[in-house]
Amino acid sequence: MRSAQLALPGVLAEPSIEWVFCEQGEEENDVQGFAHATVMKVEVTASLAPDGSGVYVDATLGGGGHTEAICEAAPGVRVIAIDRDSVAIEAARERLSRFGDRVTIVHASFGEIRRVLSDLGVTRVHGVCADLGVSSPQLDDAGRGMSFRHEGPIDMRMDRDDGETALELIARMNDDDLANVIFKYGDERRSRRIARSIKRAYGDNELRTTLDLRRAIVRAVGPVRIGGVDPATRTFQAIRIAVNRELDELDALLAALPEVLEDGGVAAILSFHSLEDRAAKYAFQDRETWAPLFKKPQLATEDERALNPRSRSAKLRAARRNARPS
Ligand SMILES: C[S@@+](CC[C@H](N)C(=O)[O-])C[C@H]1O[C@@H](n2cnc3c(N)ncnc32)[C@H](O)[C@@H]1O
């Protein structure tokens, strides 16, 4: 199977988990084409416990794996599935066509969940899940420029119709700002050296493709793979997170959840990055609003971890919305 999301070494004490970096090709894979191996499908679905004629939101449709599992779990439920990637949406639309109007697909960012629901005339929903980060097909598509393994434009946007590209971000930021991005989102100790080298390459007009970007990184830190990990991995991850404002999006989603969930509704957040997990953990600590379903985050089973390298860094946090005071 193809590994997909990238993760950082955790800064959290619990539970003990190995945050692994993996990009396609660094691990053995067997998923072909658009396929994306859904992580912790059983656990996410069990947390939401789809039931009756409930309405659920899959905030990260991707290949449609979680949406499909929710629909299969209960024949009367409906899913509103959001993604900011129109290519993913088209592929998932086909996969999910057998569910007819039980699935409503919306091209949007999940940070806009309130607007998405209000546009559909939905006030509250019974559950929301989010499987964060990027999908395997997004990493595999050279044209998106998310991977240092394929030559492509330095773009990295999940939604190619919106926002600045990675190259525009590099052009806009000064050395210090770029180093801060690489340090914060990539946990990269050599961030200053790398940022200087990238900016120099940009200034010399040598930064045209993802391979040029990798070259600038290698020029700063050398070609040695540490722990089997390419020297460009952390920097590519960091720039991608900044380009897509992934943590701002998550904060906006977490802030909206108490409003959009019914009393007793469940939020399930599957994260692959220590900063994402920390945000979910803190949000669910508000005990006036939330009752966590489990004390510590759930991890993928040994079997899933063996089959799907990407699942090794997954952490699932889920919480039930308390009843609003009457
Ligand atoms: C890991 S994949 C989801 C895979 C899906 N659960 C499955 O099983 O096929 C993450 C998806 O979320 C989308 N995504 C990431 N951040 C998003 C955001 N802020 N708003 C909407 N979609 C987002 C990406 O475009 C990608 O398609």
- Closest Cα to residue 128, out of 325, 277, 286, 320? 320
CA of 142 to the centre of ligand 1 (A): 18
Distance 192 CA to ligand 1 centre (A): 30
Mean pLDDT of the chain: 90
Per-residue pLDDT, 244: 98
Encoded amino acid at 62, one letter: G
What's the sign of the alpha-carbon dihedral 192, 226, 310, 293? Answer: negative
Residue type, 208: R
Cis peptide before 15 (omega within 30 of 0): yes
Helices (H), 155-243: 166-172, 175-186, 191-203, 210-221, 233-243
Residue of 22, 39, 58, 60 best suited for mutating to test ligand 1, as the one with most atoms within 8 Å of CB? 60
pTM of the model: 0.90
Q: Residue 225's pLDDT is what?
A: 82
Sort 262 into a burial class: Cβ within 10 Å, 0-12 / 13-18 / 19+.
Answer: middle
The Cα 232–Cα 211 span in angstroms is: 10
Provide the token pair at 208: 């045209």
Q: How far is the CA of 248 from the centre of ligand 1 (A)?
A: 15
* Per-residue confidence (pLDDT) for residue 229, from 0 to 100: 86
pLDDT (0 to 100) of residue 106: 98
Q: Which atom of ligand 1 is nearest to the CA of 137?
A: 27
Question: Which pLDDT tens digit goes with each residue over 219-268?
Answer: 999 988 877 789 999 999 999 999 999 999 999 999 999 999 999 999 99
Give, for all 326 residues of the chain, the pLDDT tens digit: 233 333 332 222 222 222 323 443 443 333 334 577 999 999 999 999 999 999 999 999 999 999 999 999 999 999 999 999 999 999 999 999 999 999 999 999 999 999 999 999 999 999 999 999 999 999 999 999 999 999 999 999 999 989 999 999 999 999 999 999 999 999 999 999 999 999 999 999 999 999 999 999 999 999 888 777 899 999 999 999 999 999 999 999 999 999 999 999 999 999 999 999 999 999 999 999 999 999 999 999 999 999 998 899 999 999 999 999 98
What is the 207 CA–ligand 1 centroid distance (Å)? Answer: 28
Tokens of 112: 């806009």
Q: Which of 58, 135, 249, 276 is the best mutation target for the ligand 1 pocket, counting ligand atoms within 8 Å of the beta carbon and taking the most?
A: 135
Q: Exposed (0-12), middle (13-18) or buried (19+): which is 172, by Cβ within 10 Å? A: exposed
pLDDT value of position 8: 30
pLDDT of residue 34: 57
Tokens of 162: 């919106």
Q: Is the CB of 60 under 6 A from ligand 1?
A: yes
- Give residue 164 CA to ligand 1 midpoint distance, Å: 19
Q: Whose C-alpha lies nearest to ligand 1, atom 12? A: 60
Domains and CATH numbers, the chain: 41-136+265-321 (3.40.50.150), 159-243 (1.10.150.170)
Helix axes 246-260, 233-243, angle to 10 degrees: 50
pLDDT reported for residue 302: 97
| Dihedral-angle region of residue 57 (phi above 0 means left; psi in -120 to 50 means alpha; beta otherwise) | beta
Q: Is there an atom of ligand 1 within 6 Å of 64 CB? A: yes
